[in-house]
Amino acid sequence: MSDRAQRISIWFFIGILLFIYGILICGTGIYELFVPPEHPVVLAQLRPAIWWGGLLLLLGAFYCYHFAPGRSK
Amino acid sequence: MLNFLFQRPLLMAGMPARLFSLSSVDLLIIILYFCFVLGIGFYLKKFTRTGEDFFLAGREMTAWIAGLSFLSANLGSLELMGWAGASYQYGILAAHWYWIGAIPAMLFLGIVMMPFYYISKTHSVPGYLKLRFGEPARALSAVSFGFMTVLMSGINMYAMALVMKVVLGWNIYFSIWVSSLTVAIYVALGGLLSAILNEVLQFILIWAGSLLIPVIGLIEAGGWHNMVQRISHNLGGADYTHMWRTMGSFTDNPMGIHWTGIVFGLGWVISFGYWTTDFLVVQRVLSAKDMRSAQLAPIIGSAFKMMVPFIVILPGLLGLALLPMKLLPEAQAIATGGHSYNEVLPIMLARYCGPGLLGLGITALIAGFMSGMAGNVSAFATVWTYDIYRPFLKKVKSDQHFVTVGRWCTILGVLASIGTAYLVMHFASIMDYVQALFSFFIAPLFGTVLLGMLWKRATPAGGFWGLLAGTLSSISMWAWVWIDPTALKYIALSTHARDMAENMYRALWSWIVCVIVTVVVSLITRPKEDKELEGLVYGLTKLPSSSHLPLYKRPMFWAAVVAGVFVVLQIIFW
């Protein structure tokens, strides 16, 4: 197999990064549920960190699975 | 814990040195990003052995990778911060630079021009000029491109460092050196391959980090119509939310421009010049694995380009509607210690994003800056190595030698850009300065390349003298207005025209000068033989047909879809 065929897809790297970011951001949002910040941002009651972080986590997990080195063509 | 100014009356009075502080999770997100882009650079080094690998990413990119990279290289600091600031200053008129100022040209590149670039197997746009018009035209184009690229890269660095200073209070020189050296390392290691794949990563992060601002902003404003009403109320009834209906007169719109300037100056000359001849973006498409991918890449890029105003223009409009204070022109902001138009995006970020999301938003800004820088640096390395170093300094050397030169050139290009960034600090308006640069070099180049591709009678002498005359005329017009401001009424057709309008018209005139000189000189000089122009000129090149493909796989079909959406957007926001 050539070097190029063995190269890991960039989408896999993106998946890893989004997955980690999702955990960090969603985790921070959940933490703030229990320990509210001293100076909340505008519309903090919408809890954007939780749902946006969750979306990143799911997207990252999908990319990691779909473009995993063993699966990619 | 974050320290948001928006919770404080201080925002309206004495301005502190920075907008907010980062929490540890924000810092972790930013550090992870730097680790990833560097790691990808180190990982890809072993895949870049030949000149084709280093300078054209092995010509193996899919349409999606090339298309996203094509757009991401353009999403530098000027796009994210500059145009958000421009939309605060000029309203929705700034979206013209994303729609009529981009979409037709990107589609034209994919459908009409890409076949000639791709079939000629050129490494660069100056390389195409060499094949079509000879060495003098290539030399002129390569030198002017190198000059412009270093300046652009310097502007990118300055803008990024400014964000870091304003947002985080970081030292401006520290920001310039850390970010630029990171780019230098990953591009020098993996060449265009590393630049392109990192640009795809950066593209995703830009959207992930920026998309929340317009979403939450629209919720706060109560929807689009309420936002429009708030803007109208805040600005005393001025129209900042229609794209065409205020274009009938120079005095009816905040940009001080007439529709002819937008359509012919921006929509034709500047836009087509940038998107079809600026090697920074064209290089990404040249890396495509086959002709169909090369044609589809700009079309995919154009579809995403149409959506970028959602994360760039809309935050500026939301700033007009929602911010409790008025942002100022750059020079005034520096003099008074206030916040400038260019800071509207980080200010909106601070308004809505708490820990974690804030780090992601800052990462999006840094990713934008770095993709723009990497685009400039990789294009500069290619043009310097293939169009200046090889033909004029070291004609016969091994392929490996040129890869080594490309790597050193990347580092030297970054250092030159850092020097430029220091100079750029003295200019008040980032975007107006860039548009002036475009009109110097890009507009005449578009005239030369267009005639070269579509008119077989254009001669080498015509191409060279047309390009030179167009460039010199543009610089002369700029100098004329700089020395005598009343000359604006001749260049921009009105004394009410502002900087951007002046740039549009200057680009148009310089393009016309280039075309006229090229045509006249060509008609009195000897053209090349037809056989020398095969693969370079319309009518003498066998263009591939896509008629055997199903409709949904044809570039023309998707270009028509994008063009249809473009027209609908103009009508909606008329």
Residue B464 has a CB neighbour count (10 Å cut-off) of 24
Q: Is the residue at A53 inside a domain?
A: no
> Given an 8 Å threshold on Cβ–Cβ distance, is A49 in contact with B357?
yes
Q: Is the residue at B438 inside a domain?
A: no
Q: Is the residue at A18 inside a domain?
A: yes
Q: Which domain holds residue B318?
A: 22-247+279-431+544-572
CB pairs under 8 A between A and B: 98
Measured between alpha carbons, how far is A60 from B146 in angstroms, rounded to an integer? 38
Q: Is the residue at B85 inside a domain?
A: yes
Number of domains within chain B: 1
Q: Is the residue at A34 inside a domain?
A: yes
Q: Is the residue at A57 inside a domain?
A: no
Q: Is the residue at B161 inside a domain?
A: yes
Return per-residue pLDDT of chain B as tens, 574 residues: 223 232 322 233 334 456 677 889 999 999 999 999 999 999 998 888 888 888 888 888 999 999 999 888 887 656 778 889 889 988 899 999 999 999 999 999 999 988 888 888 888 889 999 999 999 999 999 998 888 888 878 877 877 777 777 777 878 788 888 888 898 999 999 888 998 998 899 889 889 988 999 999 999 999 999 999 999 888 887 788 888 888 877 777 777 777 888 888 788 888 898 899 888 888 888 889 999 999 999 999 999 999 999 999 999 999 999 998 888 887 777 778 778 887 888 889 888 988 899 999 888 888 888 888 888 888 899 999 988 888 888 777 788 888 899 899 999 989 988 888 877 776 545 545 666 776 788 889 999 999 999 999 999 999 999 999 999 999 999 889 888 888 888 887 777 767 777 888 888 899 999 999 999 999 999 999 988 888 888 888 888 788 888 888 899 999 999 999 999 999 998 8
Q: Is the residue at B489 inside a domain?
A: no
B512 neighbors B92 (Cβ within 8 angstroms): no
Torsion of CA B407, B409, B412, B413, to 10 degrees: -110
Q: Which of A1, A11, A12, A24 to mutate to test the interface with B (most CBs of B within 10 A)?
A: A24
Q: Which domain holds residue A20?
A: 7-45+63-73
Q: Which residue of B has its CA nearest to A38?
A: B1
Q: For residue B381, what are the CA distances in angstroms to B124, B133, B280, B441?
A: 11, 22, 11, 19
List Cβ neighbours of B471 (8 Å cut-off, separation of 6 or more). B140, B144, B440, B441, B444, B510, B514
The residues of B whose Cβ lies within 8 A of any Cβ of A are 1-4, 6-7, 25, 28-29, 32-33, 36, 40, 43-44, 46-47, 58, 60, 65, 197, 200-201, 204-205, 208, 212, 216, 219-220, 350-357, 359-360
> Given an 8 Å threshold on Cβ–Cβ distance, is B40 in contact with A13?
yes
Q: Is the residue at B393 inside a domain?
A: yes
Torsion of CA B33, B39, B45, B46, to 10 degrees: -140
Number of domains within chain A: 1
The torsion angles phi and psi of B90, rounded to 5 degrees, stand at -110, -5
CA nearest neighbour of B144 among B439, B479, B425: B439
What single letter denotes the amino acid at residue B486? T
For residue B32, the chain A residues in CB contact (below 8 A) are 17, 20-21
Q: Is the residue at B476 inside a domain?
A: no
Average pLDDT over residues A58-66: 95
Q: Is the residue at A55 inside a domain?
A: no
The two tokens of residue B84 are: 């958000």
The two tokens of residue B253 are: 């719109």
The two tokens of residue B562 are: 């994008």
Q: Which of A3, A11, A21, A33 to mutate to test the interface with B (most CBs of B within 10 A)?
A: A21
Q: Is the residue at B522 inside a domain?
A: no
DSSP 3-state of B288:
strand
Alpha helices, H only, B384-429: 390-392, 399-424
Beta bridge partners of B288: B61
B58 neighbors B193 (Cβ within 8 angstroms): yes
Measured between alpha carbons, how far is B98 from B301 in angstroms, rounded to an integer? 12
> Given an 8 Å threshold on Cβ–Cβ distance, is A25 in contact with B356?
yes
For residue A10, the chain B residues in CB contact (below 8 A) are 40, 65, 197, 200-201
DSSP 3-state of B355:
coil
Task: Please check whether residue A41 touches B, CB under 8 A.
Answer: yes
Of A10, A41, A48, the CB nearest to B201: A10
Chain B nearest CA to A70, separation (Å): 17
CATH number at residue B291: 1.20.1730.10
